[in-house]
Amino acid sequence: MSYNFHGTSIGIGFTGSFCMYEKVFQALEELKKTGADLLPVFSSNASTLDSRFGASSSFLARAKELTGKDPITTIPGAEPIGPKGLMDILVISPCTGNTLSKLANGISDTPVLMAAKSHLRNNRPLVLSLSTNDALGMNLKNIGILLNTKNIYFVPFGQDDFQAKPNSMTAFTELLPETIDCALRGKQIQPVIRSPHNAQRENSQ
């Protein structure tokens, strides 16, 4: 299905689950084709830490090239998002367990969390695209809290390696456009929790 987000301002908050960045950028390329106006926001870790998945500088440069905008990388830079109404919808993708837990407890000590706090003041939708090793562990209660919080929606997610990491869950980022379309209409895409990412592979063995 094709979507038309022409004239829609979509914020994209990057947090530190670097293993998901390639999938997130692929999803953003698809969103760009819909005519969306994309505004990137990076957490402090996302904008400064290098990992085996790439250098932070390369991620920042790629986000700027894709969106045409300098990423927001500071808390003061994110604070005006709400007062100025800069976003119609904000997506945190990937959303780490750390970000998830802080959001559920009202903590806004990173640029992405400040962006979320500032954005939510306008009663506009916030979409979470999970990537956390403890979704079925310590963070399960926080997922429950946020699933029942007004204006917060989830990209459908499932276990990414139920044998080696049974508590780990990640979002199906290819469903980001459909999730955004639903969230803009005040609806949660269903089903939220889906079969494990590798279920087909496991069942075929």
What's the CATH number where 60 sits?
Answer: 3.40.50.1950
Instruction: Render pLDDT for 19-61 as a digit per residue (tens, 0 to 9).
Output: 999 999 999 999 999 999 999 999 999 999 999 999 999 999 9
The confidence band for 203, taking pLDDT boundaries of 50, 70 and 90, is very low
Domain that includes residue 157, residue range = 9-204
The confidence band for 120, taking pLDDT boundaries of 50, 70 and 90, is very high
Residue 160 neighbours by CB under 8 Å, 6+ apart? 168, 169, 170, 196, 197, 198
Residue 1 lies in a domain: no
The beta strands (E) that lie in 23-166 are given as 37-42, 89-95, 126-132, 152-154, 157-159
pLDDT of residue 201 exceeding 90, the answer is no
pTM of the complete model? 0.94
3-state SS class at 48: helix
Give the pLDDT mean for 125-146: 97
| Residue 172 near residue 198, CB atoms below 8 Å | no
The confidence band for 200, taking pLDDT boundaries of 50, 70 and 90, is very low
Residue 2 lies in a domain: no
The beta strands (E) that lie in the chain are given as 9-14, 37-42, 89-95, 126-132, 152-154, 157-159, 169-171
Which residue, 34, 91, 40, is CA-closest to 68?
40
Q: Measuring CA to CA, how many Å separate 87 from each of 80, 107, 117, 196?
A: 11, 20, 12, 32
Residue 174 lies in a domain: yes
Residue 73 lies in a domain: yes
Q: What is the dihedral of CA 132, 30, 34, 181, to 10 degrees?
A: -30
The confidence band for 2, taking pLDDT boundaries of 50, 70 and 90, is confident
Residue 3 lies in a domain: no
pLDDT of residue 196 exceeding 90, the answer is no
Total domain count for the chain?
1
pLDDT of residue 202 exceeding 60, the answer is no
Residue 71 lies in a domain: yes
